[in-house]
Structures are given as structure tokens and as C-alpha cells.
């Protein structure tokens, strides 16, 4: 059986260099990489990653649990986490939990059995206990799971302020916020806190009400139906500005308002939150939104969990990433 | 160290039953599952999946290489493959190749090193040789890689016929087809063949031209720019019906036409292809499109590669899945 030493000799480089090529870590010049790869091909060398994982008790696998990888937010986030993981020599196992607690528990068991080195958790199920019990390096997205478990998210409070102040600056006084589920410890609920604080700061001149939906990762059909049930014409007429806690809800509201003959933004201004690939493609209308830098969040999630695994300096726990207001056609 | 036998004894079931719970295979009643899980917790049993993979020389890992998991088509497909893989006890490693041949080669090497049991290949790079050389069970999406490598795709020819006949039925006579790259052995090019055949069948009364774009998995910005460069006003005025080989291109064309003051569908009818989650959300306008059943395609991709791995009856090679025309507002 060909060994890594044979490959190093054939390529005329050190074993460390071959190992770096194999693990895709550190800087390797393209000429060196080609020489090593050509030596591996010539000798038909096949490093056994699984045997190595067992020896080292490190698998270089990460698990990522998302509600739904086909949702544009989680699709974008998955891509960013995978890119950063690959860059650092880790492989990503993807798990679509559909927010089903039983499935999440099974996934966590599967990930532990396969000796993943860490988990990126983007779940919204009520009970996060199974994550805390997993006794693995974990980073969570936009959520506090347990003391000592770092989380990464956008600056939700600042995003809520920006959205609400923008509506008021556009002359809106009868405001509505469509929030996610307020019962869970989701950091995205800081958007609601900021909405309420900004409305209060304007005294009697501005009213701010809140309607609570299920979580922000749900799809168009959910929000379309939600709007029809909770915001019929006479209800919607009570407001002149709405801050939706996600862009799919904001778009569903645009479509719903058009169906009721309410002009956006003239009679109803709408601000969303996310700025993901769906929002970036959507031109009819271009949504005014609070853009989260999803690429940066994904990179930070990956670097945080890898930092925990490798016990290196880890990025600040509960890291918060800046957001910005994108002016579209809906305000 | 607690063994699987200890767990079976504690739970009062057979070792096979414990193994089924662990591997999430076969039917297990919820009471039995709970008993086994409770025994595992009580004894703190942690099966070592990696050690098992090394023993069995089967890892129950599948690799899936996509150009971009944040593209709505591949996001939907990834979710469907992952769901079916999990259902059959396999875990999915996701790889975003960004259609970079060097990255694909590295991913294939990584997947082989980690002893994946098989690969689901959804790449569009010119050289598919590195897949053929991987000597692993492989299934490809919408592409012929090598003789003996099964592929799964929608009925592209029928889709092309449906789209073209629909435009003609709507009274359109000066047709354009925006195709993917015709130089690659992509099954999606059958859409172009059908477009040309239907136009020919109508003799001199219908003209059909083709413009070739890069592949169908590209994003909105690419197609927006493509339209601006290749279809300025005087060019676009030459046509009264366009069949775009993907929905993102079709939407970009809607936006482009509106910008040029061309009324859709009155002056220009537009049909897309895909019917993925973006198209399903889009209401302004609702695109007329050929819907591929992405869930069924993903399920079939997973079952085909698992069939190859387990040497069971595999679904017919080069399986073709039915498509349907969805009438929207753009024709």
C-alpha cells in the first residue's frame, strides 16, 4: 500500500507539504500542488480520511442543522458556511429539520455517531435542550441556547431601529410590526423591542402595534395565508406603515395589499428584513429592507465553531454583525 | 465501554432492533424506539459510526456537488436529495463547486478520502472526466457523463415542445429560444431540439431563432446583464414570443422588457422552465413556465445512487420525469 512518504519522495517535497495538500490547509503554490497531485495519481495513493479521523479523534466534519435549505435565507447561509468550512479543511453535513423537534433529536444523534467535530445550529424549535446535551462544540444562529454556547446574528436591535425610524421619516404614524414567535429566545425578537422603543420615543404622535407570526424561516404560502386571515381590508386600513420581520412576509404583504386595492407605498409603506437572494432578485417591486450580511454571518458561524474545536482564539461570543437599510420601491 | 448488547438487554429487545434504531432503517414502533433510546441514555451508549464505517467499508455518506446551493433550483434539489438520503439512513455532504473545475476535482478527492459511498453530481463544468475517474457509484443530474453512469432529469424534449406549442397557440409567430450552453452534453439542450423541431413543423408561418447563454444555474444578475447586451430594444422587437431555458432568465427578461416599454404578454409572451421555489413565490408577475418536479427528481437521484451502492434493483438508468406547463401571467 502506498504511503504518504512514498508520495512525498515521488513529488520531491516534505510529508508536511503532502499533508497540507491533502487537508487543503495553509498556502500551497499551484506548482507544488500539481506535483503532489501528479505523484498521488501516479502511485494511485488514496488517503483514508476515515481511518485518519479515528486515529486523530477528529473527523473534520461539521453538521449544520437548518429548518429548510431551500428557503432563500438558509440556502444563502448554508453556502457561506460551506465555503468557509471547506476553506479551513472541514466538510459540511447538511440536515433539514423542517423545525421538527423529533427529527432534530435524530439528526443530533446521527451527527454524534458520525463524530462530527461541531455543529452549526439554526433551529427554531422550542426545546433547545437536546443541543445542550450533545456535549459538542456548538454555535447557534440568532439564538441563545445555553450559557457558554456562542451565537452569531445580525444587529437585530439596530435593524429594528433603522426600519422603524425609516417609516416615521417617511411620514408614517400608524405602525404595525409583524414579529416572529416572541415566546422563544430568538435574538430576532430584539427587532420587536427596538420597534416598540422607537414608537414610544415619539410619544402620542406614533402608534405601534405588534402581530406575532410563526418563525421567520417560513415560506411564501404561510405568510400569504397569514395576511389573508389576520389582515383583512378593514384591519390593514388601520395602518400606514408595516415593518415585517422577514422579506418573504414583506413580499406577501405587498401582494396582499395589491389584491385589496391598497397602494404601496402611497397608502401603505412596507419594510422587510433579510436582503437574501430572493429579495436581491425581486425587482417588481424592489423591497425596502434591512439587509443582513448573510455571507459574513455564515463565515463567522463556521470560524466560531472551528475556533471552539481547535481551541484557538475564537471570535467574540454572541457576535453581532452590522445591518444596513436598503431603499427600495415599497417606502 | 457499553456495547450494543448491553443496550439490547437493558431495553429488552434484540441487537438487530437496536441496530435499526441506530441506523434509522426499517420500521420501528415509537414505543420500541423510546425504550432503546432511553436504554442508550441510561447507559450513555455512544455508537461510533466512524469505527463502524471502517469495519463495514461503508460510510453511509453521500456527496452532492452542486454549482450553488443558494440558487433556488439547487436549493430545492438539495433538500429533496437530503430528505430521501436521510430516510434511507444516509448522510449528505454538500459541496458548492461554483462550476470551478479545480474546486470540483478537489471536492471529488475529498469525497473519496472520506470514503463516501456515492456521489450525486449536478455540475456543469466542461470536463466530466474527473467524475468518471472517481470509480465510485455516481448519478448525474441532467447530463451524460460516461457510458454506464445513470442520469436523472426532467423530460426536457417534452418540456421544449410544450413551451413552443404554447407560444404558437397564443398566436406568436416570431419566436426566440434562450438556451443553455449547447457545447456541453447537457440533457437540457433537448429543450432547444424540441423548440427547433416544433418551429420547423409549422413551416414558413413560424420563425424560430436561438441565442445561447451560459448555463441555466446562473443568477439574476448574469441574465439581467445578458439581456441588456444581447437583446437591446431593436433586437427584442424582432420577436413576439420567447422560451427561456430557465425561470431566472425569464424573470430577467420580464424586467428588461418592462424597462424598454414592451408590454408582456401583449407584445411579448414569455415562457420559462423550472418552477422552483423562486418561481412559486413570484406573483408579480406569475411566470408561465414548464415545471420540473424537483422533489421527485431529487428523490430519484438519491434512490438511484443508493441502489447502485447497495446493488439492489436500481431505477431505470437515465430516468426521465414528467413536466407540466403552468399558465401564468406572461403568456
Q: What is the CATH number of the domain that holds B147?
A: 3.40.50.2300
Q: CA of A207, closest CA in chain B: separation in Å?
A: 31
Same domain, A70 and A98: yes
Identify the pLDDT of residue A25: 67
**Domain for residue B187, yes or no?**
yes
Query: Which residue, among B27, B7, B17, B24, has the nearest Cα to B60 in the 3D structure?
Result: B24
Instruction: For chain A, say whether B100 makes contact (Cβ under 8 Å).
Output: no
**Domain for residue A207, yes or no?**
yes
Q: Reply yes or no on whether the pLDDT at A1 is more than 60.
A: no
Same domain, B180 and B237: yes
Q: Reply yes or no on whether the pLDDT at B54 is more than 60.
A: no
Same domain, B163 and B250: yes
Identify the pLDDT of residue B297: 97
- What range defines the domain where residue B8 resides? 4-47
Q: Reply yes or no on whether the pLDDT at B152 is more than 90.
A: yes
Of A22, A106, A113, the CB nearest to B47: A113
Q: In what order do the strands lie in the sheet with B91-96?
A: A319-321, A151-154, A138-141, A118-121, A61-66, A91-96, B91-96, B61-66, B118-121, B138-141, B151-154, B319-321
Residues A74, A297: Cα–Cα separation, whole Å? 11
Query: Which residue, among B250, B253, B242, has the nearest Cα to B279 in the 3D structure?
Result: B250
Residues A291, B106: Cα–Cα separation, whole Å? 33
As a whole number, the mean pLDDT across chain A is: 90
Query: Per-residue pLDDT tens for A26-80?
Result: 677 888 888 888 888 888 776 666 566 556 668 899 999 999 999 999 999 999 9
Identify the pLDDT of residue B280: 96
Q: Reply yes or no on whether the pLDDT at A327 is more than 90.
A: yes
Identify the pLDDT of residue B314: 61
Same domain, B93 and B132: yes
Q: Average of pLDDT values for B150-167?
A: 96
**Domain for residue B194, yes or no?**
yes
Q: Are A54 and B114 in contact (CB under 8 A)?
A: no
Q: Reply yes or no on whether the pLDDT at A221 is more than 60.
A: yes
Same domain, B163 and B263: yes
Same domain, B162 and B237: yes
Strand partners, B288: B271
pLDDT-above-90 percentage for chain A:
62
Identify the pLDDT of residue A100: 83
Q: Best residue in B69, B97, B107, B279 to probe A by mutation, most A CBs within 10 Å?
A: B69
Higher pLDDT, B146 or A190: A190
Same domain, A147 and A197: no
Query: Per-residue pLDDT tens for A242-283?
Result: 999 999 999 999 999 999 999 999 999 999 999 999 999 999
Q: How many domains does chain A have?
A: 3
| B54: phi then psi, degrees, rounded to nearest 5 | -65, -40
Higher pLDDT, B313 or A316: B313
Identify the pLDDT of residue B52: 61
**Domain for residue A37, yes or no?**
yes
Which ipTM value was assigned to this complex? 0.84
Strand partners, B152: B141, B319
Q: Best residue in B44, B60, B70, B89 to probe A by mutation, most A CBs within 10 Å?
A: B70
Of A24, A112, A219, the CB nearest to B46: A112
Per-residue pLDDT band for B47 (boundaries 50, 70, 90) equals low
CB–CB of B24 and A106 under 8 A? Answer: yes
Same domain, A168 and A254: yes
Same domain, B150 and B299: yes
CB–CB of B281 and A281 under 8 A? Answer: no
Q: Best residue in B103, B114, B219, B299 to probe A by mutation, most A CBs within 10 Å?
A: B114
Instruction: For chain B, say whether A282 makes contact (Cβ under 8 Å).
Output: yes
CB–CB of A78 and B94 under 8 A? Answer: yes
B/e letters for B98-125, b = 16+ CB within 10 Å, e = fewer, are ebeeebbbbbbbbbbbbbbbbbbbbbbb
Same domain, A286 and A317: no
Provide, as residue numbers in chain B, all residues whose Cβ is less than 8 Å from the Cβ of A297: none
Pairing outcome for strands B269-274 and B288-291: parallel
Same domain, A83 and A182: no
CATH value at residue A14: 1.10.260.40
Shortest CA distance from B51: residue in chain A: A54
Per-residue pLDDT band for B318 (boundaries 50, 70, 90) equals confident
Q: Which of A302-311, B16-25, B209-218, B274-283 has the least mean pLDDT?
A: B16-25
Per-residue pLDDT band for A218 (boundaries 50, 70, 90) equals confident
Same domain, B226 and B273: yes
Q: Which of A60-69, A79-88, A137-146, B257-266 has the least mean pLDDT?
A: A137-146
Higher pLDDT, A64 or A149: A64
Residues B38, B30: Cα–Cα separation, whole Å? 12
**Domain for residue B326, yes or no?**
no
Residues A28, B47: Cα–Cα separation, whole Å? 37
Shortest CA distance from A22: residue in chain B: B110
Interface of A with B in 225-264 (CB under 8 A): 248, 251, 254-255, 258
Of B83, B110, B278, the CB nearest to A281: B278
**Domain for residue A61, yes or no?**
yes
CB–CB of A82 and B94 under 8 A? Answer: yes
Q: Reply yes or no on whether the pLDDT at B1 is more than 70.
A: no
Query: Per-residue pLDDT tens for A192-214?
Result: 999 999 999 999 999 999 999 98
**Domain for residue B86, yes or no?**
yes
**Domain for residue A188, yes or no?**
yes
Per-residue pLDDT band for A303 (boundaries 50, 70, 90) equals very high
Higher pLDDT, A33 or B167: B167
Q: CA of B139, closest CA in chain A: separation in Å?
A: 19
Strand partners, A62: A92, A118
As a whole number, the mean pLDDT across chain B is: 90
CB–CB of B82 and A96 under 8 A? Answer: yes
Identify the pLDDT of residue A166: 98
Q: Average of pLDDT values for B103-130?
A: 83
Higher pLDDT, B13 or B3: B13
Amino acid at each position: 500500500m502506498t504511503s504518504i512518504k512514498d508520495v512525498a519522495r515521488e513529488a520531491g517535497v516534505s510529508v508536511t507539504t503532502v499533508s497540507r495538500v491533502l487537508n487543503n490547509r495553509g498556502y500551497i503554490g499551484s506548482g507544488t500542488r500539481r506535483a503532489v497531485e501528479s505523484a498521488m495519481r501516479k502511485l494511485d495513493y488514496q488517503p483514508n480520511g476515515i481511518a485518519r479521523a479515528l486515529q486523530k479523534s477528529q473527523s473534520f466534519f461539521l453538521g449544520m442543522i437548518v429548518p429548510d435549505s431551500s428557503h432563500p435565507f438558509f440556502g444563502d447561509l448554508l453556502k457561506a458556511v460551506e465555503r468557509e468550512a471547506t476553506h479551513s479543511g472541514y466538510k459540511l453535513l447538511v440536515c433539514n429539520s423542517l423545525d421538527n423537534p423529533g427529527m432534530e433529536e435524530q439528526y443530533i444523534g446521527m451527527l454524534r455517531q458520525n463524530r462530527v467535530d461541531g455543529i452549526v445550529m439554526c433551529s427554531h424549535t422550542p426545546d433547545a435542550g437536546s443541543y445542550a446535551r450533545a456535549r459538542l462544540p456548538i454555535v447557534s444562529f440568532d439564538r441563545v441556547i445555553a450559557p457558554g454556547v456562542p451565537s452569531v446574528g445580525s444587529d437585530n436591535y439596530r435593524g429594528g431601529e433603522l426600519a422603524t425610524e425609516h417609516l416615521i421619516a417617511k411620514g408614517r404614524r400608524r405602525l404595525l410590526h409583524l414579529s416572529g414567535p416572541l415566546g422563544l429566545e430568538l435574538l430576532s425578537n430584539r427587532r420587536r423591542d427596538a420597534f416598540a422603543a422607537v414608537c414610544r420615543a415619539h410619544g402620542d404622535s406614533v402608534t405601534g402595534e405588534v402581530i406575532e407570526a410563526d418563525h421567520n424561516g417560513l415560506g411564501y404560502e404561510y405568510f400569504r395565508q397569514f395576511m389573508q386571515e389576520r389582515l383583512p381590508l378593514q384591519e390593514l386600513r388601520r395602518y400606514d406603515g408595516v415593518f415585517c420581520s422577514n422579506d418573504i412576509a414583506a413580499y406577501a404583504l405587498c401582494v396582499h395589499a395589491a389584491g385589496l386595492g391598497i397602494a404601496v407605498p402611497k397608502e401603505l409603506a412596507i419594510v422587510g428584513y433579510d436582503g437574501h437572494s430572493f429579495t436581491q432578485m425581486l425587482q417588481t417591486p424592489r423591497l425596502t429592507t434591512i439587509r443582513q450580511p448573510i455571507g459574513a454571518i455564515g463565515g463567522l458561524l463556521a470560524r466560531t465553531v472551528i475556533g471552539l474545536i481547535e481551541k484557538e482564539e475564537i471570535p467574540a461570543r454572541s457576535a453581532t454583525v452590522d445591518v444596513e437599510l436598503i431603499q427600495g420601491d415599497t417606502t
